[in-house]
Structure 1
Amino acid sequence: MSDPCFFAPFEPVALATVAEWVTGDLPRGGGEVQVSGVAPLEDASAGDIVFFDNPKYLPVLATTSATACIVARKHADKVPEGVVPLVADQPYKAWAQLLARLYPASMRPVALEGTASGISPHARIDASARLEAGVVVEAGAVVGPEAEIGSGTRIQANAVIGAGVRIGRDCTVGANAVLQHTLVGDRVILHPGVCTGQDGFGFAMGPGGHLKVPQIGRVIIQNDVEIGANTTVDRGANRDTIIGEGTKIDNQVQIGHNVVIGRHCVIVSQVGISGSATLEDYVALGGQTGVRGHVTIGMGAQIAAVSVVEADVPAGARYGGVPAKPVKVWFREIMTLAKLAERGAGSARDKD
């Protein structure tokens, strides 16, 4: 079997140029040294550039065979002789900036089939849909009546754009994604399998059966949002479900009807957000966290992974646990339980 490289190698680049790109400096010199590859610390060889940001990996840094390493100033003296340290204020951020320069094609999902421009003859576009110049529609995609798509946007294979959906410019809609009752801003990335605008889960329950409550709202996705594969966003029941500008959502997240997510939030995989919850700007939710309906998580709050938010969370707070509570309280409870368990185990040993 062949071993393909999905992203083309880059031309060798001098470290002086790299330092300019990431706003870094070279305390030991070496600006004329060139790098021609990137790698993890442990796998790097001559010609590679790496980054170091976690003290846990200091032993690995000491043995790396890389040519250069992006590193914080406080760790620059840990870079071994023969490796050029490139000092940056935030090494991981600098690494991201560097990779974006070296591999620009990786910043958006790549084409899945041969349509480099225009509309595949195997796509189905309703006659009333309006597509600006520069839109790419791959094979098997469907664009419904009165839909509008802005220039520079790519609709990947087998995606479905429902009637009346609006999509802005320079977006990517991944393969098998389905958009209904949705308005999308500019520079939005929806990865494969994303579904937006389907019914929210609304039923008037009773002993004689469950009466379906019509869901008549929309989904609004603002500029620069990225949503991971197989995530679902329900349309609003009587108002809109909103995802704010710059928010990043991981794979397999469920967002219920009427949810309002602020700007620049981070939501990690397998989170479930129940209907009518509100996340203010810059909220971060760890993986597998559940958020109860009708609660508000304040601006800048952080929720630890595998937590359950059952009540409002103040702005800037750090919560965790089931139910979620301030992390200091949560940690104290964990330590108390651990001590009780150890005491119980000790008593059992004494009896034996």
Structure 2
Amino acid sequence: MSEPRFFELPASVSLKTVAAWADAEIYRGDETLEISEVAPLEDAGAGALVFFDNTAYLNQLEATGAAACLVGKRHREKVPEGVAVLVCSEAYRSWAMVLAHLYPAAMTPKDPLISGVSERAVVDPAAILEENITVEPGAVIGADVEIGSGTVIRANAVIGRGVKIGRDCVIGANCTVQHTVLGNRVCLHPGVCSGQDGFGYAMGPQGHLKVPQVGRVIIQDDVEIGANTTIDRGANRDTVIGEGTKIDNQVQIGHNVVVGRHCVLVSQVGLSGSCTLEDFVAIGGKTGVRGHITIGMGAQVAAVSVVNDDLAAGGRYGGTPAKPVKQWFREVAAVRKLAERGDES
């Protein structure tokens, strides 16, 4: 069978154009040099653009056959002769800006299978759909749903009664959205579940009494949520995801959680009910956060940590339980030394 290419090669552009997109300076090379593709360092050939910002890949940089390289000022002399050099403040961010121009279809998965509303979709007559909406086969849209223009509802997604979806959103295949209000330009990747019951029970010796969950989920503008992530609706107040926040695959967000603006949650993070993340918090993969605590603005938590108490704004934390990283590293070093002494005895 033929080898598929899901994102078509872009038309060639000049090095000068790439520099403008990347907010970079041409340090070495002909501004008319044509760039026809992007590639990793080790696979790059004539016409390819690469980037370099991690010295772990210095060997690949030295051997690259790329036409041009995006690089920070401190690494510009490491780029081999014959490779054009574009100097920028942050190579990875510049790389992202260039890719957005070359491959706009990869930014948001909005390439619909059809145009308009499929005859094989189920749309309640009481739903309100603005113009220029795509609803793919198998999707179900309930009563009193409102969907803004430019939004794509992918195959087999289920939009529950009364849900409000803003403009230019993408609701991925097999998503389930209920008791939720979405802003504009929200992207839910396949399998996201939003607005289901929070995990609320009054526990006791006579059995566990279910507590009705009567809140909502509020997802603000420009949020992107990865595949198979789950967001529980609030118990007695709303679960909120702040604007610009990016959430990876398979994250669990409990009821009444408030996630601030421009936070980053990596795969398999678990946020227990009623915890609060202030703006610009970043949490590494497989980290658990206890309920009813606050992580301050700009704090960063390392992967595979457990957050049991409030964390101050701006700090870097890790471990079980999470603590300032310098303290954590000292404790790890001390345990290692004790283990080594035990081996010697």
> Under TM normalisation by the shorter chain, which class is it?
over 0.9
Matched residue of 2:209: which SS? strand
Q: Tell me, yes or no, if the aligned pair for 2:179 and 2:233 is still in contact at 8 Å.
A: yes
Percent identity over the alignment is 66
The answer as to 2:315 corresponding to 1:310 is: no
- TM-score where L is the length of structure 2: 0.99
Q: How does 1:1-352 map to 2 (within 5 A)?
A: 1-111=1-111, 113=113, 115=114, 117-347=115-345
Separation in structure 2 between the aligned mates of residue 342 and residue 324 of structure 1, nearest angstrom: 25
Q: Tell me, yes or no, if the aligned pair for 2:110 and 2:152 is still in contact at 8 Å.
A: no
Structure 2: state its 5+ residue gaps.
Answer: none
| RMSD (CA atoms) | 0.7
- In the alignment of these two chains, the number of paired residues is 345
Q: Tell me, yes or no, if the aligned pair for 1:15 and 1:32 is still in contact at 8 Å.
A: yes
Tell me how far 1:111 sits from its aligned partner: 3.4
Separation in structure 1 between the aligned mates of residue 20 and residue 158 of structure 2, nearest angstrom: 43
Separation in structure 1 between the aligned mates of residue 111 and residue 320 of structure 2, nearest angstrom: 42
Separation in structure 2 between the aligned mates of residue 169 and residue 319 of structure 1, nearest angstrom: 37
Q: Tell me, yes or no, if the aligned pair for 2:71 and 2:86 is still in contact at 8 Å.
A: yes
Matched residue of 1:27: which SS? strand
Q: Tell me, yes or no, if the aligned pair for 1:261 and 1:280 is still in contact at 8 Å.
A: yes
Which amino acid in 1 is paired with 2:142?
A: G
Q: Tell me, yes or no, if the aligned pair for 2:27 and 2:87 is still in contact at 8 Å.
A: yes
Q: Tell me, yes or no, if the aligned pair for 1:112 and 1:157 is still in contact at 8 Å.
A: no
Which amino acid in 2 is paired with 1:343?
A: R
Q: Tell me, yes or no, if the aligned pair for 2:112 and 2:152 is still in contact at 8 Å.
A: no
Separation in structure 2 between the aligned mates of residue 172 and residue 296 of structure 1, nearest angstrom: 31
Q: Tell me, yes or no, if the aligned pair for 1:111 and 1:156 is still in contact at 8 Å.
A: no
Matched residue of 2:25: which SS? coil
Which amino acid in 2 is paired with 1:97?
A: M
Which amino acid in 1 is paired with 2:292?
A: H
Separation in structure 1 between the aligned mates of residue 55 and residue 283 of structure 2, nearest angstrom: 25
Q: Tell me, yes or no, if the aligned pair for 1:24 and 1:86 is still in contact at 8 Å.
A: yes
Q: Deviations over 1:283-325 (max 9, x none)?
A: 0000000000000000000000000000000000111000111
Tell me how far 1:110 sits from its aligned partner: 4.0
Matched residue of 2:328: which SS? helix
Separation in structure 1 between the aligned mates of residue 185 and residue 7 of structure 2, nearest angstrom: 21
Separation in structure 2 between the aligned mates of residue 343 and residue 50 of structure 1, nearest angstrom: 47
Separation in structure 1 between the aligned mates of residue 128 and residue 28 of structure 2, nearest angstrom: 57
Q: Tell me, yes or no, if the aligned pair for 2:299 and 2:314 is still in contact at 8 Å.
A: yes
- TM-score where L is the length of structure 1: 0.97
Q: Tell me, yes or no, if the aligned pair for 1:159 and 1:173 is still in contact at 8 Å.
A: yes
Matched residue of 2:93: which SS? helix
Matched residue of 2:240: which SS? strand
Q: Tell me, yes or no, if the aligned pair for 2:112 and 2:134 is still in contact at 8 Å.
A: no
Which amino acid in 2 is paired with 1:183?
A: V
Q: Tell me, yes or no, if the aligned pair for 2:29 and 2:83 is still in contact at 8 Å.
A: no
Separation in structure 1 between the aligned mates of residue 92 and residue 61 of structure 2, nearest angstrom: 15
Q: Deviations over 1:131-181 (max 9, x none)?
A: 000110000000000000000000000000000000000000000000000
Separation in structure 1 between the aligned mates of residue 27 and residue 247 of structure 2, nearest angstrom: 38
Question: Which consecutive aligned stretches of 4+ in structure 1 deviate over 4 angstroms post-superposition?
Answer: none
Tell me how far 1:2 sits from its aligned partner: 1.6
Q: Tell me, yes or no, if the aligned pair for 1:150 and 1:168 is still in contact at 8 Å.
A: yes
Separation in structure 2 between the aligned mates of residue 129 and residue 238 of structure 1, nearest angstrom: 27
Q: Tell me, yes or no, if the aligned pair for 2:105 and 2:111 is still in contact at 8 Å.
A: no
Which amino acid in 2 is paired with 1:37?
A: E
Separation in structure 2 between the aligned mates of residue 248 and residue 53 of structure 1, nearest angstrom: 23
Q: Tell me, yes or no, if the aligned pair for 2:216 and 2:233 is still in contact at 8 Å.
A: yes
Which amino acid in 2 is paired with 1:73?
A: K
Tell me how far 1:271 sits from its aligned partner: 0.4
Matched residue of 2:203: which SS? strand
Q: Tell me, yes or no, if the aligned pair for 2:153 and 2:171 is still in contact at 8 Å.
A: yes
Tell me how far 1:29 sits from its aligned partner: 3.4
Matched residue of 1:26: which SS? strand
Q: Tell me, yes or no, if the aligned pair for 1:161 and 1:180 is still in contact at 8 Å.
A: yes
Matched residue of 1:101: which SS? helix
Q: Tell me, yes or no, if the aligned pair for 1:275 and 1:294 is still in contact at 8 Å.
A: yes
Structure 1: state its 5+ residue gaps.
Answer: 348-352
Q: Deviations over 1:192-246 (max 9, x none)?
A: 0000000000000011100000000000000000000000000000000000000
Separation in structure 1 between the aligned mates of residue 110 and residue 180 of structure 2, nearest angstrom: 23
Tell me how far 1:112 sits from its aligned partner: 5.5
